[in-house]
Structure 1
Amino acid sequence: MKCLRIYATPDGESHFDELELPTTKRTVHPDAVPFDVTGSYPASRVRITHIPAGMREVAWHTVPEPVLTVRLDGSVEYETSDGEVRHVQAGSFVLVEDTHGRGHLSRHSPEAQTVIWISLPNGLERSL
C-alpha cells in the first residue's frame, strides 16, 4: 500500500517521497474476501478538522509532530520547498513529517473539507 510523505532534510528543505507500507492478507469473516492490512503503528492522538469552504491557501508551515492525515472529502494541493507540487484527492492519506525548516504550502479546494489527523510519534515505524 502506498503512502505519500512530506519530510524535511537536515537543511530545512521539504520534499515528497512515497512509502510502501507492507501488508498482509487478513480474513475478517469466513464469507468475506481477504483484506490487505498493514501492521500496527503507535498513535498518541486523533483529531478531526473541519476546513471551511473558501479556505484557499495556507502559507508556508510545518507540523508540530509527525501526523498521518486522512482526507475524507475535498482535495488539497501541497507544494514543498523544492518546488514540487502534488494533488491529493479525498480518500487519500499523507504522512506529514516536516517538523522543522520552511515547511510546505497547502492550497485547498473551494468546498468545505474534513480531515482526520493521527499523531504518530514514531512516524510509520511499526510496533512489534
Structure 2
Amino acid sequence: MKCLRIYATPDGESHFDEIEMPMTKVAVHPDAVPFEVTTSYPASRLRFTHIPAGMREVSWHTVPEPVLTVRLDGAVDYETSDGDTRHVKAGSFVLVEDTFGKGHLSRHSPEAQTVIWISLPKGLEGLE
C-alpha cells in the first residue's frame, strides 16, 4: 500500500515522497477470508478536525509532531517548499512529518471538511 509523505530535509526544505507500507494476509477468525493489513504503529493521540467551508488557504506551516491525516471529505492541494504540489481527495491519507523548516502550504476545497489526525510518536518507522 502506498502512502504520500511530506517531510523536511536538514536544510529545512519540505518535499513529497511516496512510501510503501508492507501488507500481510491475516485471518481474524477461522471462518474468515484472510485480508491484508499493515504492521501496528503506536499512536499517541487521535483528533477529529472540522475545517469550515470557505477556508481556502493556510499559509506556510509545519506540524507539531508526525501525524497521519485521513481525509473523510473534501479535498486539499498541498505545496512543499520545493514548489511541488499534490492533490489529496476524500478517502486519502498523508503522513505529514515536516515538524521543522519552511513547512508546507495547504489549499482547501471550498466545502467543509473532516480530517482525522493520528499522532505518531516516531512516524511510520522502518518504511522506505
TM-score of the superposed pair, with normalisation by structure 2 = 0.94
Which residue number in structure 2 is paired with residue 100 of structure 1? 100
Which residue number in structure 2 is paired with residue 15 of structure 1? 15
Aligned residues: 126
Structure 2, unaligned runs of 5 or more: none
**Matching residue's letter, 1:60:** W
Between the aligned partners of 1:59 and 1:102, the Cα distance in structure 2 is 11
List structure 1 segments (4+ residues) > 2 angstroms apart after TM superposition: 27-34
CA apart distance, 1:30 = 5.0
Q: Deviations over 1:83-107 (max 9, x none)?
A: 0000001000000000001100000
**Matching residue's letter, 1:35:** F
Aligned CA RMSD, in angstroms, stands at 1.2
Over the matched positions of the two proteins, sequence identity in percent amounts to 85
CA apart distance, 1:66 = 0.3
- 1:111-122 matches, within 5 Å, as 111-122=111-122
Q: Deviations over 1:14-65 (max 9, x none)?
A: 0000000011012235554432100000110000000001110000000000
SS of the aligned residue for 2:79 comes to strand
Moved more, 23-32 or 55-64: 23-32
Which residue number in structure 2 is paired with residue 82 of structure 1? 82
- 1:28 partnered with 2:22: no
Between the aligned partners of 1:31 and 1:77, the Cα distance in structure 2 is 43
Between the aligned partners of 1:90 and 1:30, the Cα distance in structure 2 is 34
Which residue number in structure 1 is paired with residue 123 of structure 2? 123
- 1:21-60 matches, within 5 Å, as 21-29=21-29, 32-60=32-60
TM-score of the superposed pair, with normalisation by structure 1 = 0.94
SS of the aligned residue for 1:15 comes to strand
